[in-house]
Amino acid sequence: MALKATVYKANLQIADMDRHYYAEHAFTVSQHPSETEERMMVRLLAFALNAHEHLTFEQSMEDDAVADLWQKDLTGAIDVWIDVGLPDEKLIRKACGRAKQVIVYAYGGRPAEMWFEQNCKLFQRQKNLSIFNVAQTSSIEIAKMVQRTMQLQCNIQDEEIWMIDDKQNLTIELLKLQ
């Protein structure tokens, strides 16, 4: 019998003073059986950092050929492709050919650093690619915020990021690698 996704409800208030984006988003977030809580929360963080009225979560995690989040224009063309984790370089190259902008949020500490070091020369060829590394301490701490129903707030000002719930106020460390 196949395992089913775990469903979470998240209410995310975003105050991004750097981009002048202020909105509240209500989500039903599915955590795939193979996905950790840490990865799911990094996906939520990626949404907060790139929030837009047309940015959506991809529902299927079985297909590597789709983004974790993406923003499409009214014609269906992909404006922004966002992946979380350590995607294969070939997938990133393919995404860069399909989207105007591709963003990767790597996490996991040393493995993320090694992944970037091994692929950085190939990544440099992609002019529409940005890669960020979420510090391991940050990704572990936001994973502790997971509840079946979450009330989260993300504040961004002067490139500083805070993720807040009813128990914690975390400063998220994010390093731009490319």
**For 118-144, how does the pLDDT look when each residue is reduced to its tens digit (9 = 90+)?**
999 999 999 999 999 999 999 999 999
Q: Please write down the HEC assignment for all residues of 89-146.
A: HHHHHHHHHHEEEEEEEEECCHHHHHHHHHHHHHHCCCCCEEEEEECHHHHHHHHCCC
pTM, two decimals, is 0.91
Is residue 2's pLDDT more than 80? no
Partner residues linked to 69 by β-bridges: 57, 82
pLDDT tens sequence across 56-67 = 987 655 556 688
Can you list the domains of the chain with their CATH numbers?
6-176 (3.10.640.10)
